[in-house]
């Protein structure tokens, strides 16, 4: 049947400003979801307006938030019913809607009153009865046949002469009999009863007819429950109850529940019970008198014996013992001594040390047990402190040698009483950990190398000191004794902020900390490898700012070895620097000429030199075997047949790893006399050489030789030819001398050239002298006078010479 509705919607009330509120609106209870309750317009030209539903009294969700639209420069607000709206004038006939209008900075609020009036043509079929699921009722199978199960008389039906009937089938065997509805709208049980129908659900379609051919439908479900067991028992129930002494008489203490059919309750003991009573049907225990413990201490504990029984079978009963504890109302938090704990402890404090024991009492209940909890604030979480009962103890090693490891611990001890409401007291705790200088600093031994020609202020290297105490790099350096040629910087690096102590408190400050601290070792003076090659320094490392007591310092040391590297700064010297020798060179043999003796006076330990001939060895007849100069006559022809002079330049350089390599040059003049074939005894001849410097001793060794007969013949013929050639040579020589005596004196340079040529000829003539005259030849050569002076074009040295023999004497 269609529900009757008013023929038209309410007209919109158009106003120019919202200050015309409040409004009074009448709405029929037949208005459904989406119905416009009220519309209004207002002006807001400069801003975007906003309309809100602030609240509804009585609270309900039947009304939507107002909508806002614009129509010809005018804003229109509309209030509508939402999809859940079900207006019922008999239930609520008045609603107050508080609306808020915002236009820029202007905010205006006002009420909208909605009155719901009865609609005679409105169908009362609503709620769960009219929903598809229907209304559900539960009855036991032992219900009396024809008993009243449910009332279907809806509000207002008695005025409309409504008729209610069941129009759904109730056929057996599912239905034991038909359900019926009387004229008063009561649903009655079947006349056969419901015995044996436990667990079944009967669905009944209800038709409600009212007014002029108007009707509505609803559904009713009847669920049949089994008969409970005849044994009665209390459900799980706490036997000890604690209440406060400020409960007013009639306040609920506890509700007991027993399992049975139509159960009743009563108090068996104590009788009479002056403080408590129990509801006969609901089992609610209530107070009947004030429970002030201050006036009646005997009310602190009351033991009740409660009986539960079935009304129809009083003999089926069960007892329950309850203990009601009355506690005073908790008015004061616990009081503690000390109320605040601030203490300092060294980081070496052993684990388990008790820092303080707290004494707390509850003014409301002296002697009661209190609970203590330790809460950490900085750093958060369990750390180095713990609470055992009322004692605050050190829980772990207080190591302050790690950045941020400790220094101070902020915590609090929360003390809780057992009263109601729960009262607590918080005791602030601040434990400052004082660092202790536990460890001595150390450094690693090191070896540095430096050249002996290094200048002052040269950096050799750095000594790195370490300290296990925090801060790890707060170290000073010093040299203990030792040579004064070196120094170490006491502090080096870059200052960084740190922590310090002031008045026994750890505070932030600017200390002269260095990160990292390196002891730089510098050279102060000069070095000499020849005087000292090795230095050992003992470097002391001393910590600072590691303890609250600034005088408590620790130190360590390490040995630094400095090796001086040799630098070659002295050239070798040869003695004598100039030698002039005369040797006889037999064919096919090597002859030792002389030994070059050189050394470095400033470095007598340097004995390794390299020798090389750098001048005068044009035919490679000379070689060096270390410092020994050797003439080699085994190289084959052409062998020298005439005496010849060789001026050799020998370079002597130091050898070894030292750089740079320095060298010197020794001059050796060798007069080479070819050896004649003869048999002679070995003898030694010493000749004194007239010199302007040091006399030179020349030693010749002659070997004895016994030739073959055929060789004697050949030698005789050769000697005859040699004598003839020698005679011719002497004749030419005399002719040259005669011409020289006849010519005037020439300049020194021409004289030098002629003397050199004459020297070569005289030497050749001298070498061709007979063998038996050789012992007198050197003495005659040495006895000659020097009649010329010249300068060597290659070396630049001046020398004297003899124009007849060509002999030289270096100046």
Strands 788-791 and 798-801: antiparallel
Distance CA 542, CA 476 (A): 5
pLDDT at 663: 82
- 569 exposed, middle or buried (CB, 10 Å; 0-12, 13-18, 19+)? middle
Per the model's pLDDT, the better-predicted residue between 524 and 762 turns out to be 524
pLDDT at 702: 52
| Sheet with 276-278, side-by-side order of all strands | 252-255, 284-287, 276-278
pLDDT at 324: 92
CB atoms within 10 A of CB 265: 21
Q: Which two tokens stand for residue 596?
A: 């070059």
**What DSSP state is assigned to residue 103?**
E
pLDDT at 392: 92
Lowest-pLDDT range of 555-569, 622-636, 696-710: 696-710
379-388, 542-551, 754-763: range with highest mean pLDDT: 542-551
pLDDT at 453: 84
Q: Which two tokens stand for residue 130?
A: 């009219």
DSSP character string of 538-579: EEEEEE-S-SSSTT---EEEEEEEEEEEP------EESSSEE
Contact 670, 581 (CB under 8 A): yes
Q: Which two tokens stand for residue 535?
A: 């230095």
Instruction: Tell me the per-residue pLDDT of 465-484, one tens digit each, with 9 for 90 and over.
Output: 888 887 777 888 988 877 77
Q: What mean pLDDT value characterizes the chain?
A: 77
**Which candidate, 439, 523, 511, places its Cα nearest to that of 479?**
523
Indicate the SS3 state at residue 703.
coil
Measured CA to CA in angstroms, residue 398 lies from 39, 383, 410, 416, 508 at distances of: 76, 9, 14, 29, 20
Q: Where are the alpha helices (DSSP H) in 90-247?
A: 127-130, 157-160
Give backbone dihedrals phi and psi of 713, rounded to 5 degrees, phi first: -65, -50
Strands 555-565 and 446-451: parallel
Contact 209, 162 (CB under 8 A): yes
Q: Which pLDDT band, with edges at 50, 70 and 90, does 681 fall under?
A: very low
Distance CA 384, CA 403 (A): 16
Contact 519, 465 (CB under 8 A): yes
CA 301 to chain centroid: 63
Instruction: Tell me the per-residue pLDDT of 155-179, one tens digit each, with 9 for 90 and over.
Output: 555 545 677 888 888 888 889 889 9
Contact 403, 414 (CB under 8 A): no
Per the model's pLDDT, the better-predicted residue between 559 and 745 turns out to be 559
Per the model's pLDDT, the better-predicted residue between 266 and 24 turns out to be 266
Distance CA 115, CA 23 (A): 11
Contact 473, 515 (CB under 8 A): yes
Over range 96-119, report the average pLDDT.
Answer: 87
Report the half-sphere exposure of 691 (CA within 13 A, side-chain side): 14
Indicate if the pLDDT at residue 694 is higher than 70. Answer: no
Long-range contacts (CB closer than 8 Å, 24 or more residues apart) made by 101-109:
101/18, 101/42, 101/49, 101/50, 101/51, 101/77, 102/49, 102/50, 102/51, 102/52, 103/42, 103/44, 103/46, 103/47, 103/49, 103/50, 104/44, 104/46, 104/47, 108/18, 108/19, 108/21, 109/54
SS (H, E, C) 350-382: CCCCEEEECEEECCCCCCCCCEEEEEEEECCCC
Over range 52-60, report the average pLDDT.
Answer: 89
Report the Cα–Cα distance between both ends of the chain, in Å, rounded: 158
Instruction: Tell me the per-residue pLDDT of 638-660, one tens digit each, with 9 for 90 and over.
Output: 666 678 888 889 888 877 666 67
Over range 306-335, report the average pLDDT.
Answer: 84
Indicate if the pLDDT at residue 181 is higher than 60. Answer: yes
Q: Where are the beta strands (DSSP E) in 90-195?
A: 94-103, 106-117, 135-140, 148-151, 163-166, 180-181, 186-188
Indicate if the pLDDT at residue 16 is higher than 60. Answer: no
pLDDT at 675: 66
Distance CA 439, CA 455 (A): 38
Contact 543, 442 (CB under 8 A): no
pLDDT at 755: 40
What is the number of helices (H) and of strands (E) in the chain? 5, 54
Q: List the Cα angle 761/766/770 in 5-degree steps.
A: 140
Instruction: Tell me the per-residue pLDDT of 436-464, one tens digit each, with 9 for 90 and over.
Output: 888 889 999 999 999 888 888 898 888 98
Distance CA 200, CA 222 (A): 8
Residue 270 neighbours by CB under 8 Å, 6+ apart: 302, 303, 304
CA 34 to chain centroid: 65
Q: Which two tokens stand for residue 56?
A: 């509804």
Residues in the chain, total: 811
Indicate if the pLDDT at residue 760 is higher than 80. Answer: no
Distance CA 543, CA 478 (A): 12
Residue 634 neighbours by CB under 8 Å, 6+ apart: 588, 589, 590
pLDDT at 381: 58
Indicate if the pLDDT at residue 625 is higher than 70. Answer: yes
Indicate if the pLDDT at residue 604 is higher than 80. Answer: no
Distance CA 386, CA 507 (A): 25
Distance CA 264, CA 307 (A): 8
pLDDT at 366: 75
How large a percentage of the chain has pLDDT more than 70?
76
Per the model's pLDDT, the better-predicted residue between 732 and 397 turns out to be 732
pLDDT at 589: 76
Indicate the SS3 state at residue 340.
coil
Lowest-pLDDT range of 172-181, 225-234, 245-254, 274-283: 225-234
Indicate if the pLDDT at residue 348 is higher than 70. Answer: yes
pLDDT at 559: 92
pLDDT at 207: 86
Indicate if the pLDDT at residue 802 is higher than 80. Answer: no
pLDDT at 127: 57
Over range 223-233, report the average pLDDT.
Answer: 75
Q: Which pLDDT band, with edges at 50, 70 and 90, does 8 fall under?
A: very low
Alpha-carbon dihedral sign for residues 40, 43, 45, 50: negative
Q: Which pLDDT band, with edges at 50, 70 and 90, does 562 fall under?
A: very high
Indicate if the pLDDT at residue 727 is higher than 50. Answer: yes
Distance CA 725, CA 770 (A): 12
pLDDT at 734: 87
* Cis-peptide into 379, omega within 30 deg: yes
SS (H, E, C) 408-473: EEEEEEEEECCCCCCCEEEEEEEEEEECCCCCCCEECCEEEEEECCCCCCCEEEEEEEECCCCCCC
Give backbone dihedrals phi and psi of 644, rounded to 5 degrees, phi first: -140, 145
Residue 310 neighbours by CB under 8 Å, 6+ apart: 232, 260, 261, 262, 263, 264, 316, 317
Indicate if the pLDDT at residue 15 is higher than 70. Answer: no
Q: Which two tokens stand for residue 558?
A: 């390490």
Indicate if the pLDDT at residue 360 is higher than 90. Answer: yes
48-52, 120-124, 804-808: range with highest mean pLDDT: 48-52
Lowest-pLDDT range of 322-331, 651-660, 772-781: 772-781
Tell me the pTM.
Answer: 0.38
Over range 615-624, report the average pLDDT.
Answer: 84
437-451, 509-523, 670-684: range with highest mean pLDDT: 437-451
Contact 792, 752 (CB under 8 A): no
Indicate if the pLDDT at residue 751 is higher than 50. Answer: no
Indicate if the pLDDT at residue 716 is higher than 70. Answer: yes
- 742 exposed, middle or buried (CB, 10 Å; 0-12, 13-18, 19+)? exposed
Instruction: Tell me the per-residue pLDDT of 402-441, one tens digit each, with 9 for 90 and over.
Output: 776 666 788 999 999 877 778 899 999 998 888 888 888 9
* Cis-peptide into 22, omega within 30 deg: yes
Distance CA 498, CA 474 (A): 10
* Max Cα–Cα distance, the chain, nearest Å: 194
Q: List the Cα angle 234/236/241 in 5-degree steps.
A: 100
Lowest-pLDDT range of 72-76, 304-308, 592-596, 783-787: 783-787
pLDDT at 264: 92
Residue 217 neighbours by CB under 8 Å, 6+ apart: 125, 130, 205, 206, 207, 208
Strands 135-140 and 598-599: unpaired
């Amino acid at each position: 049947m269609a529900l009757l509705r008013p023929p038209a919607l309410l007209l919109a009330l158009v106003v120019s400003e919202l200050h015309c509120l409040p409004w009074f609106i009448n709405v029929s209870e037949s208005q459904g979801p989406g119905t416009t309750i009220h519309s209004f317009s207002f002006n807001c030209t400069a801003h975007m307006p906003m309309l809100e539903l602030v609240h509804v009294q009585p609270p309900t969700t039947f009304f939507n938030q107002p909508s806002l639209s614009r129509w010809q420069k005018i804003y229109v607000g509309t209030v509508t019913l939402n999809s859940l709206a079900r207006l019922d004038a008999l239930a609520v006939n008045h609603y107050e809607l508080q609306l808020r209008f915002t236009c820029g900075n202007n905010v205006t609020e006002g009420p909208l009153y909605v009155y719901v009036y009865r609609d005679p043509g409105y169908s009362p079929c609503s709620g769960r009865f009219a929903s598809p699921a229907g209304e559900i009722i539960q009855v036991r199978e032992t219900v009396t046949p024809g008993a009243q199960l449910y009332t279907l008389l809806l509000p207002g039906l008695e005025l409309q002469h409504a008729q209610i009937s069941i129009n759904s089938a109730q056929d057996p065997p599912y239905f034991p009999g038909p359900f019926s509805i009387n004229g008063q709208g009561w649903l009655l049980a079947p006349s056969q009863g419901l015995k044996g129908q436990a667990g079944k659900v009967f669905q009944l379609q209800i038709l409600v007819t009212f007014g002029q051919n108007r009707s509505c439908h609803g559904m009713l479900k009847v669920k049949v429950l089994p008969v409970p067991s005849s044994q009665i028992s209390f459900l799980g129930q706490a036997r000890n109850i604690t209440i406060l002494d400020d409960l007013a008489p009639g306040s609920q203490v506890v509700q007991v529940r027993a399992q049975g059919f139509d159960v009743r309750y009563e108090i068996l003991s104590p009788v009479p019970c002056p403080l408590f009573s129990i509801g006969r049907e609901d089992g609610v225990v209530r107070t009947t008198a004030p429970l002030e413990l201050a006036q009646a201490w005997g009310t602190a504990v009351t033991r009740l014996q409660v009986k539960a029984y079935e009304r129809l079978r009083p003999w089926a009963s069960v007892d329950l013992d309850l203990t009601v504890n009355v506690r005073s109302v908790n008015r004061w938090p616990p009081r503690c001594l000390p109320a605040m704990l601030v203490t300092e402890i060294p980081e070496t404090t052993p684990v388990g040390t008790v820092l303080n024991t707290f004494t707390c009492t509850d003014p409301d209940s002296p002697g009661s047990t209190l609970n203590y909890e330790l809460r950490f604030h900085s750093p958060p979480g369990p750390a180095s402190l713990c609470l055992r009962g009322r004692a605050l103890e050190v829980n772990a090693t207080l190591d302050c040698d790690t950045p941020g490891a400790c220094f101070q611990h902020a915590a609090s001890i929360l003390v809780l009483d057992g009263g109601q409401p729960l009262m607590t007291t918080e005791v602030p705790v601040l434990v400052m950990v004082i660092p202790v200088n536990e460890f001595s600093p150390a450094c690693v031994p090191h070896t540095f190398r430096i050249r002996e020609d290094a200048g002052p202020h040269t950096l050799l290297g750095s000594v790195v000191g370490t300290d296990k105490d925090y801060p790890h790099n707060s170290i000073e350096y010093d040299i203990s004794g030792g040579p004064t040629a070196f120094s170490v910087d006491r502090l080096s690096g870059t200052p960084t902020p740190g922590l310090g102590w002031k008045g026994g408190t750890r505070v932030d400050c600017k200390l002269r900390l260095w990160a990292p601290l390196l002891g730089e070792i510098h050279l102060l003076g000069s070095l000499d490898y020849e005087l000292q090659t090795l230095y050992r320094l003992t470097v002391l490392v001393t910590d600072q700012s590691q303890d609250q007591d600034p005088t408590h310092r620790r130190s360590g040391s390490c040995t630094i070895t400095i090796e001086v590297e040799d630098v070659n700064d002295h050239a070798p010297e040869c003695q004598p620097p100039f030698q002039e020798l005369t040797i006889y060179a037999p064919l096919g043999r090597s002859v030792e000429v002389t030994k070059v003796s050189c050394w470095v006076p400033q470095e007598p330990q340097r004995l390794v030199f390299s020798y090389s001939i750098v001048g005068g060895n044009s035919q490679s007849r000379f070689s060096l075997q270390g410092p020994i100069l050797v003439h080699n006559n085994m190289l084959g022809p052409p062998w020298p047949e005439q005496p010849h002079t060789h001026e050799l330049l020998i370079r002597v350089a130091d050898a070894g790893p030292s750089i740079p390599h320095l060298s010197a040059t020794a001059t050796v003049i060798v007069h080479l006399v070819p050896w004649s074939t003869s048999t002679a005894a070995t003898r030694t001849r010493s000749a004194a050489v007239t010199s302007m410097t040091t006399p030179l001793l020349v030693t010749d060794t002659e070997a004895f030789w016994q030739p073959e007969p055929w060789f004697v013949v050949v030698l005789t013929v050769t000697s005859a030819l040699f004598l003839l050639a020698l005679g011719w040579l002497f004749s030419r020589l005399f002719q040259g001398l005669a011409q020289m005596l006849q010519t005037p004196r020439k300049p020194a340079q021409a004289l030098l050239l002629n003397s050199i040529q004459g020297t070569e000829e005289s030497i050749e003539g001298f070498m061709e002298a007979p063998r038996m005259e050789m012992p007198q030849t050197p003495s005659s050569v040495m006895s000659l006078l020097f009649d010329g002076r010249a300068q060597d074009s290659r070396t630049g040295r001046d020398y004297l010479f003899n124009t007849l023999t060509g002999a030289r004497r270096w100046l």
